[in-house]
Amino acid sequence: MRRLSAALKTGLVLLLPVFGLAACSGDDEGEARAAVQSVADALMGAADGSADKALFADEPFTGTDGEMVLAEYTKIIDGMDGLVPKVSVADVDTEAETATLTWSWPVADDADPWTYDTTVDLAHTDAAWTVAWAPSVVEPSLIDGDRLEVTSEPTTRGDITGAGGAELVTARPVVRVGIDRTLVGAARAPASAKALAELVDIDVASYVKAVKGAGAKAFVEAITYRAGDVPGAVRSRIPSITGARQIDAELALAPTRDFAAPILGRVGPVTAEMVEKDPEAYQPGDVAGVSGLQARYDEQLRGTPGRIVRAVPGDQGADDRELYVQEPVAGKPLALTLDRRLQSLAERVLDGVGPASALVAIRPSDGSILAAANGAGTDGQNYATYGQFAPGSTFKSVTSLALLRAGLEPTSQVECTPTTTVNGKRFKNYSDYPSSSIGTIPLQEAIAQSCNTALINARGKVRDGDLAAAAASLGLGIDHDLGFPAYFGEVPKPSGETEAAADLIGQGKVLASPMAMATVIASVQAGRTVVPHLVGGIDVSVPAAAKPLTAAEARQLKALLRRVVTDGSGRGLADLPGGPVIAKTGTAEYADGGTVRTHAWMIAAQGDLAVAVFVQTGQSGSRTAGPLLEEFLRGAR
């Protein structure tokens, strides 16, 4: 919706266009219509600031000064929030000397315009047709001193719901703290802003600038607290700062400040960038989704504010009159699969982890993402579903499938040597690899103990594309638009034999997110390709490029990953109550400046729950990620 130009609002007004000046002869109706049309165009032009001053060289109104008319008109429509009406000539009756104007105001988005007719009186002189001015030219009920005013009625933002319809994000009480410019003058406002910014610990310079630039009636918010979370020092000192106020309000919030925050996002005042990008949707001061799913689905969630047009009488004792009402339309809820209990559990599990960390839990039977937690070390980034890291030995789940498809059996013998070299690149096993599992061993033992060299020594069995195909069958490496930031990982074609060898153990150029690795173990548990989903109503069909798992492949994979728990690096999960657990541990080296550090991974599934845990810097999968995964599975029961 366009707003009045700065020139119009500051009194640098433009004048209405002149009527046609032809004398009354010939086609009176045509001349009269042209005259009325020029006034209609002028009324529209004055509203959007495009009227040309040169058009007012003559007087278009009957016995009335054109500049005075424009001043009155500007005053009448000044409260219409910059809306520009469409004014058209519906009828001209030269005998009755009247004309009908049809007004159409785009008051409410996605609603029919406010449309009505007004009648204007015409006069004919030897020079031209002219129009008699009155406020009723603008709206039929207006009299001298009346003006139009449009106001917005707040709507109700749609909730974000989780599993079972549980409210995850809904309107919750908050306290807005800021400077009320009606309570402090322009000279003193900067000092108050500085004192308040220091009190609530926000950037002083930017807040002082915002307060100095605000209007005399503005409330400039400094910070919003959840109800009950306002620090005692803030609450007690606010009265001592001139103009500072606390305002009780409601805001769409999750159960806690950190609950799935990087994914859900937040609601708050729109940014300058949002206003610049979509001025039709957002105006300064609006509240909207500014990040995460709140931003992506803002149009659905925010609904449509109501709009009311009133006639405000010049007589202060008279009541306003409602002329047009568009009721607010509540936002529509957004349904997610997150389980509130499991999400909260996942966040508690990661609470004490210093490095960046993430935990994702998926229900293998239908692919629902039940938890997607990010530890504090991620600094608000969404590592859980969008992180891109080498998966290390957890990727051996994929390599196992590629080898099974190449003809190996779980009992097939492979060579687990202390080291192996490929084109001058030396590969070794992790530092505490059991010496008893060195030598010629069954594939199932190599997977259970996570022998790197055994899989690299078997690389001749795997042809180009086999690894990527196996990954796709387990839900990794094929992107889908799931309606939220999701990284499914990638298994690119290796550039050479060394890189191909590294890919087999989840390094090289292989990348995955915690969500992608949870999908891999979920697919093994389900015996079919699982496509994870979080947002309701999104197509989650299995990509055609994913070759289905056979029953034999699914059975053998599950047996291989079961031995990781019973006899291998995942023995820490062996005593979990409940059904059998399948798992795979993993580490992956990465460079941090001049230092080589280790990602720690573990994936596991039990019953209808599949989980991936990632810690950016740790000792190993079993030592660092394993205890976290175990705590989650125990708590999930």
DSSP per-residue string spanning 586-600: EEEEEEETTEEEEEE
Beta bridge partners of 99: 92, 120
Within 13 A of 211's CA, how many CA atoms are on the CB side?
A: 32
Q: 491 and 471 in contact (C-beta within 8 Å)?
A: yes
**pLDDT for position 53:** 46
In degrees and rounded to multiples of 5, residue 264 shows phi and psi of -65, -35
Token digits of residue 398? 């994929």
The first and second tokens of residue 435, run together, are 């010496």
Residues counted in the chain: 637
Any alpha helices (H) in 127-260, and if so which ranges? Answer: 189-200, 204-213, 232-237
Question: CA of 561: how far to CAs of 230, 473, 546, 628, in Å?
Answer: 50, 16, 21, 19
- Taking the C-alpha atoms of residue 572 and residue 156, their distance in angstroms, rounded to an integer, is 49
| Cα 273 to chain centroid, rounded | 14
Q: Are 452 and 419 in contact (CB under 8 A)?
A: no
- pLDDT for residue 84: 94
Strand order in the sheet with 581-592: 368-374, 357-363, 609-615, 595-606, 581-592
SS3 content of the chain, % helix, strand, coil (to 5): 35, 25, 40
User: What dihedral angle (degrees, nearest 10) is formed by the CA atoms of 599, 526, 510, 376?
Assistant: -30
- The helix (run of H) or strand (run of E) holding residue 97 is none
Spatial contact of 572 and 627, defined as CB atoms under 8 Å apart: yes
Three-state secondary structure string covering 260-298: CHHHHCCEEECCHHHHHHCCCCCCCCCEEECCHHHHHCH
Helices 514-526 + 551-567 axis angle, to 10: 110
Q: Three-state SS string across 503-556, please?
A: HHCCCCCCEECHHHHHHHHHHHHHCCCCCCECECCCCCCCCCCCCCCCHHHHHH
Q: How confident is the model at residue 51, as a pLDDT? A: 62
Cα 204 → chain centroid: 28
603 bridge partner residues: 584, 612
| Start-to-end Cα distance in the chain | 54
CB 551 within 8 Å of CB 605: no
Instruction: Render 70-89 in DSSP notation, one character per residue.
Output: HHHHHHHHTBSTT---EEEE
Task: Answer yes or no: are the C-beta atoms of 241 and 195 closer than 8 Å.
Answer: yes
User: What does the angle CA 88 – CA 93 – CA 99 come to, to the nearest 5 degrees?
Assistant: 35
Q: Is the distance from CB of 156 to CB of 267 less than 8 angstroms?
A: no
- Cα–Cα distances (Å) from 50 to 2, 39, 45, in that order, read 12, 14, 5
Can you tell me which residue has the tokens 């009194």? 11
Short-list 393, 461, 454, CA closest to 420: 454
pLDDT by residue (tens digit) across 103-124? 999 998 878 999 999 999 999 8
The rounded distance, in Å, linking the Cα atoms of 263 and 66 is: 58
Alpha helices in 188-231 (DSSP H): 189-200, 204-213
Distances (CA, A) of 536 to 160, 165, 169, 331, 338: 11, 11, 15, 16, 11
Amino acid at 410: P
Low-confidence ranges of the chain (pLDDT < 70): 1-27, 51-60
Give the pLDDT confidence score for residue 177 in this predicted structure: 96
Query: Residue 267 contacts by C-beta under 8 Å, 6 or more apart in sequence?
Result: 157, 251, 252, 253, 287, 288, 289, 290, 294
SS3 373: strand
Residue 602: CB atoms within 10 Å? 34
Torsions phi, psi for 362 (to 5 deg): -125, 145
| Amino acid, res. 182 | T
Which residue bears the tokens 């039940």?
A: 370
DSSP state, residue 12: -
pLDDT at 428: 94
User: What domains, with CATH codes, occur in the chain?
Assistant: 6-143 (no CATH), 160-335 (3.90.1310), 340-636 (3.40.710.10)
